[in-house]
Amino acid sequence: TSYGSSRWTVTSEVLPRYHLHVQKVLLWGRYRNWTQVTDCSPGGEGRGLQQKKDEESAGGNRAGAGGKKASAAQLRIQKDINELNLPKTCEISFPDDDDLLNFRLIISPDEGFYKGGKFVFSFKVGQGYPHDPPKVKCETMVYHPNIDLEGNVCLNILRSVLQNRGPVGSGFWRVTCALLLHREDWKPVLTINSIIYGLQYLFLEPNPEDPLNKEAAEVLQTNRRLFEQNVHRSLRGGYVGATYFERCLK
C-alpha cells in the first residue's frame, strides 16, 4: 500500500485464505456470502490502508466544523474499501483522499486475449448505494464485445436484467466469478469487490451473446483468430476497421 501527497493507491495479492473462504461458501451453498471476503490489508511499514480507514471510521460519522453526519452510502463504501481483496492484476486509486465515492480501477490482465493491456475504469458511487449500484465506465477505449466505444459496460450486476449463460471456462476462480455473474441483478449484499472481480472476468471470458459492441461480438463468434488479431492491433494502437484505438499496453 502506498500513499502520495494528492492520492493514495491500494494493491493486494489474492491470498490462499481467500480461496479457502470462497470454497467453504460454495460447499455450504451460501452463495451470497462469498463476496464478504476477509480483510487482508497489508500491515507493513508506513501508514497502511486499515490504519487509514480506522482513523476515518473514528471520525467518519461527523465531518467538518458543522458536525455533518456521514451518509449511509459513505459508511457502506468505507466498509467495502476496508474489506477489499484485490487480485494482483487490479489496482485502485483515489484522486481525492477525502472522497471515497469517486475512484478509479486499473485492470492489467495477465492472461487471455487482453494480456498485457492496461484498462482504466471510473467508479461513481451515488447516495443510493448500496441499494443502487455504482456507475462504472471504462475510460480506456477497448475493442471488446461487452464494452462499447463510449465506455459503457455490460455487466449483469450493474443492471437489473437476468441473463442465463452456459458453462464457462475451467478453474476454481472462473467458477466463483460465474456464480457472481449469474445473479439476477444488483443487490445490497454485493460489494465493490464483487464488481471488480466481475470486470476482470469480462477480460478473461468476453461474452458475445450479450454484446454492446455487436461487430466485435460477431467476429468473436465467427472467427476467434481474427478477433484475437483485432484485439492485439487495438492494444498496440491502430485502426480496427474505421475505428482508431490508442495504445494501451503496459
Residue 120, domain member (yes or no): yes
More confident residue, 185 or 132: 132
Q: Per the domain annotation, does 250 fall within a domain?
A: no
Within a domain: 160:
yes
**How do 102-107 and 119-124 pair as beta strands?**
antiparallel
Distance CA 219, CA 222 (A): 5
Segment 155-170 mean pLDDT: 50
Tell me the average pLDDT of the chain: 76
- Minimal CA–CA distance to 131: which of 77, 178, 82? 77
* Residue 138 located in a structural domain: yes
What confidence tens digit (pLDDT) does each residue in 70-108 have?
899 999 999 999 999 999 999 999 999 899 999 999 999
Pairwise CA distance, residues 233 & 249, whole Å = 11
Is 154 one of the catalytic residues? yes
In a domain, 192, yes or no: yes
Ramachandran category for residue 91: left, alpha or beta (phi over 0 → left; psi -120 to 50 → alpha):
beta
Asked, for residue 204, whether it belongs to a domain, the answer is yes
pLDDT band at 53 (very low <50, low <70, confident <90, very high): low
| Residue-number span of the structural domain to which 146 is assigned | 2-245
pLDDT at 250: 86
What mean pLDDT is predicted for residues 160-176? 39
pLDDT value of position 49: 52
- Rounded-to-integer distance, Cα 73 and Cα 99, Å: 12
Following CA atoms 10, 38, 59, 7 in sequence, which dihedral angle do they give, to the nearest 10 degrees? 0
At 174-222, the pLDDT tens digits run 444 444 444 457 899 999 999 999 999 999 999 999 899 999 999 999 9
pLDDT above 80 for 135: yes
Instruction: Show Cβ contacts of residue 172 under 8 Å, excluding neighbours closer than 6 positions.
Output: 19, 22, 23
* Residue 34 falls inside a structural domain: yes
Confidence of residue 158 (pLDDT cuts 50, 70, 90): confident
In this structure, what CATH number is given to the domain that contains residue 45? 3.10.110.10
Closest CA to 13 of 93, 78, 95, 85: 85
User: 229: pLDDT confidence band, cut at 50, 70 and 90?
Assistant: very high
User: Exposure of 171 by Cβ count < 10 A (0-12 exposed, 13-18 middle, 19+ buried)?
Assistant: exposed
- Per the listing, cell 472467427 goes with 223
Q: Is the pTM of this model over 0.85?
A: no
Q: Quote the pLDDT of residue 152.
A: 96
Identify whether 224 is part of a domain: yes
What is the pLDDT, as a whole number, of residue 69? 86
Residues 6+ apart with CB under 8 A from 40: 12, 15, 17, 18, 85
Q: How far apart are CA 106 and CA 77, in angstroms?
A: 18
Contact 193, 85 (CB under 8 A): yes
Mean pLDDT within 36-58: 46
pLDDT tops 80 at residue 121: yes
When mean pLDDT is compared across 6-15, 32-41, 183-192, the lowest value belongs to 32-41
Q: What is the mean pLDDT of residues 109-119?
A: 97
Residue 24 has pLDDT above 90, yes or no: no
Nearest to 200 by CA among 185, 181, 218: 181
- Structural domain count of the chain: 1
Give me the catalytic one of 40, 90, 138, 154: 154
